[in-house]
Amino acid sequence: MTTDYERILLAEGIGYSEILDPKFKTNTLKIFFSQPLSAATAAGSALATSLLTASNQRYPSIAQLRKKLQMLYGAAIFGSVQREGDIQTNHISATVIDDRYALEQEPLFDEVLELLLDCLFRPNAADGAFSQTEFRIRQQNLLDTIKAEIDEKRTYALNQARRTAFDGEPAALSPCGTAEEVAALTPASAYAAYQELLRTAGIEIYFVGPAKKAGLADKLRRAFAAIPDRKPQPLCAIAPSPAKPEPQEVHELLPVAQCKLVLLWKTAYENPWVLAMLSAVFGGTPSSKLFANVREKMSLCYYCAASYSTFKQSLTVDSGIEQQNVEKTRDAILQQLREIQQGNITQEELENAKMSFHDSIYGIGDTPSSYINWYFGQFCKGISLSQDELHEKYQSVTIPQLVEAANTLTLDTIYLMDCKKEAE
């Protein structure tokens, strides 16, 4: 999988992973800041992350920083935020071509690293507040992102189902916060959120490149050692959610041409590899039961797919359908699950699902981001497996295990985005 991989601790709650693969022509550094997802901190942390990658004291505007990066052969510094179960993860990244490919073999990575550290430790701020100009730009960008969620109807439907399923739990929250929470932020409160992130977040740093960068770990250690009063919070990404006594149904009318139906099940079954394989057999591949029967044979929907969340031990099916097929599709999905629960799984269905995992596992390492996602995902889940070890976990799954796991599923949430008539 990799030519060389090593993870070391730079300090309490700060890990550094080095992933070396000679096929790459770029160097990538990605820093994850993980903290419990909370309505009190999500918006501030998300906006602070965006501000950190927009400018710094040396380059105090988006335009100036971008111009400098363009001069470094189109290098990039960017940030984003995501949710891993009950955890909010903010990350900033830098990528640049390897020094070997510069016209004069200039030390490009060293320059980009300094820019990134400037963004992180010498931000465009004064007197305990971010620059007002950059703050307003990034605040509006984040508001636009939140308001645009409903434009992606499939994603919106999935998020609405999750909000219902995990109501009262951190996983129900948006890692970007709400529009109201973002609008209430100020340059000072966003800066305070940034300071809190540095002080309390779990930090994981990943370097991916063709060769070792001498002194990189020590430089990062010194930079992060300067954070005052650092006290990282304990984190637990895997947080199973109790199922409701009865499924909760949510019916939302929107002016859409295509209805969206989402069903979410919860389980206490503890083998994540069996549950992931169950999801693939149920609706995760072109030969799965949902695709082959509900979509192809019965022609009930435009798409019908299953996915499994290790972090919340939940299985989700979402589909896009015509309004007249809503009930038929719902019944057909539930019937396909009953087929699995009754043991009606062919060896061919299982082998096709196993092949899909084979392809995805051995595709890890095609890009720097796939390496980073692989190792960070394992870190969050508290496991450390090689490609071959993970492959064996999936290949050893049996049909009786799938039947056993399927019978532990409890339907928790049914969400329907219905087509609102124009007259209404």
Q: How far, in Å, CA of 130 to CA of 272, rounded?
A: 43
Domain interval for residue 142: 4-225
Q: Are residues 308 and 206 in the same domain?
A: no
**CB of 278 closer than 8 Å to CB of 308:** yes
The label of the residue with tokens 């796991």 reads 405
Q: What 3-state DSSP class applies to 302?
A: strand
Low-confidence ranges of the chain (pLDDT < 50): 423-424
Domain count, the chain: 2
Q: Are residues 279 and 386 in the same domain?
A: yes
Sheet holding 26-36, edge to edge: 4-11, 14-20, 202-209, 26-36, 87-97, 76-84
DSSP conformation class of 172: G
**CB of 294 closer than 8 Å to CB of 333:** yes
Examine residue 239 and state whether it is found in any structural domain, yes or no: no
Q: Are residues 34 and 159 in the same domain?
A: yes
What's the mean pLDDT when you consider all of the chain?
95
Q: What is the pLDDT of residues 64-112, one digit of tens each?
A: 999 999 999 999 999 999 999 999 999 999 999 999 999 988 999 999 9
The CATH number of residue 284's host domain is 3.30.830.10
Examine residue 240 and state whether it is found in any structural domain, yes or no: no
Examine residue 87 and state whether it is found in any structural domain, yes or no: yes
Q: What is the pLDDT of residues 308-317, one digit of tens each?
A: 999 999 999 9
Q: Are residues 161 and 278 in the same domain?
A: no
Q: Are residues 186 and 316 in the same domain?
A: no
The label of the residue with tokens 């209404």 reads 424
Q: What is the pLDDT of residue 105?
A: 87
Comparing CA positions, the residue from 128, 111, 124 lying closest to residue 62 is: 124
Examine residue 20 and state whether it is found in any structural domain, yes or no: yes
Examine residue 243 and state whether it is found in any structural domain, yes or no: no
Q: Are residues 204 and 263 in the same domain?
A: no
Q: What is the pLDDT of residue 424?
A: 43
Phi, psi of 207 (to 5 degrees): -115, 130
Q: Are residues 167 and 273 in the same domain?
A: no
Q: Are residues 333 and 270 in the same domain?
A: yes
> Which residues have C-beta within 8 Å of that of residue 309, sequence separation ≥ 6?
85, 315, 316
- Phi-psi category of 127—alpha, beta or left, where left has phi over 0 and alpha has psi -120 to 50? left
Q: Are residues 263 and 162 in the same domain?
A: no
Q: Are residues 193 and 261 in the same domain?
A: no
Q: What 3-state DSSP class applies to 17?
A: strand
CA distances from 356 to 19, 361, 366, 409 (A): 25, 9, 16, 23
For residue 357 the two structure tokens come to 């995992």
Q: Are residues 214 and 296 in the same domain?
A: no
Q: How far, in Å, CA of 242 to CA of 314, rounded?
A: 10
Examine residue 364 and state whether it is found in any structural domain, yes or no: yes
CA distances from 256 to 67, 154, 316, 418, 422 (A): 42, 11, 22, 8, 10
Q: Are residues 54 and 169 in the same domain?
A: yes
The label of the residue with tokens 């096929």 reads 23
Q: What is the pLDDT of residue 421?
A: 66
Q: What is the pLDDT of residue 2?
A: 53
Examine residue 238 and state whether it is found in any structural domain, yes or no: no
Domain end (from 183, 210, 225): 225
CA distances from 182 to 129, 143, 257, 313 (A): 16, 7, 31, 30
- Phi-psi category of 79—alpha, beta or left, where left has phi over 0 and alpha has psi -120 to 50? beta
- Supply the DSSP string of 320-386, one letter for each residue: EE-GGGHHHHHHHHHHHHHHHHTT---HHHHHHHHHHHHHHHTTTTSSHHHHHHHHHHHHHHT----
Examine residue 392 and state whether it is found in any structural domain, yes or no: yes
For residue 413 the two structure tokens come to 């949430």
Q: What is the pLDDT of residue 77?
A: 97
